[in-house]
Amino acid sequence: MIKGFIFDLDGVITDTAELHYKAWKALADEMNWDFDFEVNDKLRGISRLDSIKVILDHNNTSLDNATLQQLATKKNDLYVASLDDMGSDDYLPGARELLTHLRTEGFNVALGSASKNAEKVLQQLNATAYFDVIGDGHSVSKSKPAPDIFLFGAEKMKLQPEECIVFEDAESGVDAAKAGGFYSVGIGPKERVGHADLRFDSMAEATLFEIKSYFADLF
């Protein structure tokens, strides 16, 4: 039986990809690195340090660890400053409705994000109260596609993986959900999240009615 839901943040609850892009782009321009939307899309769901490594690989460059850390911090300062403009209108369409519905029906709800800024994003959205458990980039050391962040959420909710549905917009996030034995809902195109149990183009379609209809035997 499904008793809990675990949500990724960026790309599921809100769309910070554009803000991440602007911050990485400012750093890349300063460093004379090539960086575009296509490279940015490869950073979906992966950690800050892994992200900078992807950008460096794309530019056939490498840097020592201390410099990597320093540049990642610089990008993060820009990103965090840009979050100040985010507000409670910045949910992806359908996300707040689903979270409200889950609260009304008494399901357990956890966040399972790779971001170390998840708490700030939730505060900006005024979304903290929708979550019983917050799993973020500080909660576990192994990032997606390892299942650790979702296992953390399930354990804190005192649920088994097979009692939870994970919502993800990243290929590595769906991989992580599957590796942990969770049911999965992919948000986005087939090429990216087609391996999830159920897929929607956007959160606007991901209503509790649709989810219950698809996983009918589990409710």
Q: Which is the catalytic residue, given 8, 90, 169, 175? A: 8
53 lines the binding site for ligand B16 (CB under 6 A): no
Window 110-129: residues binding ligand B16 (CB under 6 A):
113-117
Backbone torsions φ then ψ of 122, nearest 5 degrees: -60, -40
69 lines the binding site for ligand B16 (CB under 6 A): no
Which one-letter amino acid corresponds to residue 35? F
Window 32-61: residues binding Mg ion (CB under 5 A):
45
Q: State the minimum distance, in angstroms, from the CB of residue 11 to Mg ion.
A: 4
The CA distance from 84 to 18, in Å, is: 14
Does the active-site annotation cover 8?
Answer: yes
Q: Which of 109, 116, 97, 102 is nearest to 10 (CA)?
A: 116
Q: Which of 48, 16, 52 is nearest to 35 (CA)?
A: 52
Q: With respect to ligand B16, which residue has the nearer C-beta, 52 or 211?
A: 52
Q: Which does 20 bind (CB under 5 to 8 A by kind): Mg ion, ligand B16, none?
A: ligand B16
Q: With respect to Mg ion, which residue has the nearer C-beta, 2 or 136?
A: 136
9 lines the binding site for ligand B16 (CB under 6 A): yes
The CA distance from 188 to 133, in Å, is: 25
The CA distance from 171 to 156, in Å, is: 24
* Cis preceding linkage at 161, omega within 30: no
The answer to whether the beta carbons of residues 95 and 9 sit under 8 Å apart is no
Residues with a known catalytic role = 8, 10
- Residues binding ligand B16 (CB under 6 A): 8-11, 20, 43-48, 51, 76, 113-117, 137, 170
Residues that bind Mg ion (CB under 5 A): 8, 10-11, 45, 169-170
